[in-house]
Structure 1
Amino acid sequence: MDMVQRPLDLDAVQAFVSVAELGSFTRAAETMRTTQAAVSLKLKRLETRLGCRLVERTPRRVQLSGRGASFLDHARSLLEAHERALAGFTAARQRLAIGMSDHVAGPELPALIARMNAQDPQMLIEIRIGSSAELLQSFDRRELDTVIVRLHAGRADGEVLVEEKFGWFAAPGWRRRAGEPLPVATMAEPCGVRAIAAELLDAAGVPWTEIFVGGGVAAVAAAVMAGLGVAALAPRMLPFGAVDVGPKLGLPDLPRLPVVLHTRLKEDRPRDTLAALSAAFRSAVRG
């Protein structure tokens, strides 16, 4: 069989699509639950098969070549056709129930859901947003297969996905009134970030008062941008233009807070979908 007739290796095509979408051989390897060397080998074989370079590799980033960009849509279509063919032999959709802390599920959530769906279009995905404590309780009651939450006191299990920077943010032009306690917008209890922020302010002797309590990060961010006060949040959770006023006001440094994955999944199919979610999340948070 000559080069033109020989079929493409679907694993190699999947490796190429993962590298293209995640911009990283490391993240692609996490998604495919293999090694970076194995992904590189698959991609090299695909490039040899097609007779052209698909990816330009530099020390700092991965970028598609012109031929690679042209091939990407065809590669996706090939994988989708493969999934549709398999779906005809699949029984009921498998369900994957995931809980995400409100401090974790940021503006990247649509892209994360799309990445999971691309990994397995036949998987029925359920996502529940809540506080870390509430989600961990649901996980322990086996109501959720997986949770991605902030590190919780008293829990030593789970896999740390990333450690995320936090700061004291306020709206542009916001000024603290002299002689008054620091106005702080927070999440409702129980919230681990709220507890850490309060403990650090108290330890530093900074007088403060709760000016706003939100039922979610979006509400707290809205209060900040409305000029009500400051909040302890991750930069990616805030609209463009929010300012970290911690250094200027002499507020205590906030620690980098881990994002932890807890799962009981053992079957290959849902674990593949979860691996795609984890890799995409790491890429989104680390940029």
Structure 2
Amino acid sequence: MSRGRIGSSGDLLQSYDRRELDAVIVRLQTSRDDGEMIAEERFGWFAAPDWQRRGYEPLPVAMLAEPCGVRAMASQVLDAAGIAWTEIFVGGGVAAVTAGLGVAVFAPRMLPLGAVDIGDRLGRPALPRLPIFIHSRLTEGPPRDALTTLSVAFRSAARG
């Protein structure tokens, strides 16, 4: 019986290396050459449509907990741009953005309903694209076909 798992890229790669998983799709692969890059995902700064920054207060940002690569990217970009920010929610940004509490970094394919890109409006720094890799021992049959379909979907979403 096949099963899937969602987790951090590091945890998924460790499970793959221990042969607990036959294939993984991960972001931010470092120092490995055994995966195939299937897409470069773009990101943006998103908030509720009516969200407004209050004066000169630090930018309220919702993020996932460490060791999230998107979290690291967002904090590095903000720090490099000299933008004061504060973490207002840990565990993802969907709830915080939906409630209008602050901003979060999302890939467009992961947006909460109603969220809008506020990067240009508020002069937020541009975010780099992050590579998505697939690692697989699957060579044929329905599982490999499903993995090929997922790869095509990621490529399509990254272009959008």
Could you say whether these structures have the same fold, taking a TM-score greater than 0.5 normalized by the shorter chain as the test?
yes
Larger helix percent: 1
1:143 corresponds, among 20, 35, 42, to 20
Deviations 1:66-103 (A, max 9, x none): xxxxxxxxxxxxxxxxxxxxxxxxxxxxxxxxxxxxxx
**Conserved 8 A contact 1:133-1:191:** no
In the superposition, relative to structure 1, how do residues 281 and 235 fare at CA in structure 2: closer, same or farther (>3 Å)? closer
Q: Does 1:182 align with 2:55?
A: no
Question: 5+ unaligned residues in a row in structure 2: which ranges?
Answer: none
5 Å matches for 1:94-173?
Answer: 124-173=1-50
Higher Rg? 1
- Whether the 8 Å contact between 1:152 and 1:192 is mirrored in structure 2 is no
- Work out the CA distance in 1 between the residues paired with 2:2 and 2:132: 21
RMSD of aligned alpha carbons: 1.7
Q: Distance in 1 between matches of 2:108 and 2:145?
A: 29
- 1:274 Cα shift? 2.0
Aligned length: 159
Q: RCO greater where, 1 or 2, for CA within 8 Å and sep 6 or more?
A: 2
Residue 284 of structure 1, CA deviation? 4.7
Look up the SS of the partner of 2:2 in the other structure. Answer: strand
- Which letter maps to 2:71? R
SS in 1 for 2:24: strand
* Alignment check: 8 A CA contact 1:159 1:262 kept: yes
C-alpha distance after superposition, 1:8-46 (max 9, x if no partner): xxxxxxxxxxxxxxxxxxxxxxxxxxxxxxxxxxxxxxx
Determine if contact 2:40/2:158 at 8 Å carries over to the other structure. no
Contact kept in structure 1, 2:61 and 2:87, CA below 8 Å: yes
Q: Could you say which residue in structure 1 is the equivalent of 2:68?
A: 191
Return the letter of the residue paired with 2:74: A
**Which runs of 5 or more residues in structure 1 are unaligned?**
1-123
CA distance in structure 2 between the partners assigned to 1:157 and 1:197 by the alignment: 27
Secondary structure in 1 aligned to 2:51? coil
Q: Say whether residues 1:278 and 2:155 are aligned partners.
A: no
The structural deviation recorded for 1:285 is 4.7
The answer on whether the counterparts of 2:42 and 2:158 sit within 8 Å (CA) in structure 1 is: no
TM-score by length of 2: 0.90
Contact persistence 1:183–1:228 (CA under 8 A):
yes
What TM-score comes out, normalization by structure 1 length? 0.52
Identity of aligned residues (%): 67
Give 2:107's aligned amino acid: A
Residues in 2 aligned to 1:259 and 1:170: alpha-carbon distance in whole angstroms:
24
Question: What's 1:226 paired with?
Answer: 99
- Kept in 2, the 8 Å contact 1:182–1:229? The answer is yes
Alpha carbons 2:46, 2:117 under 8 Å: kept = yes
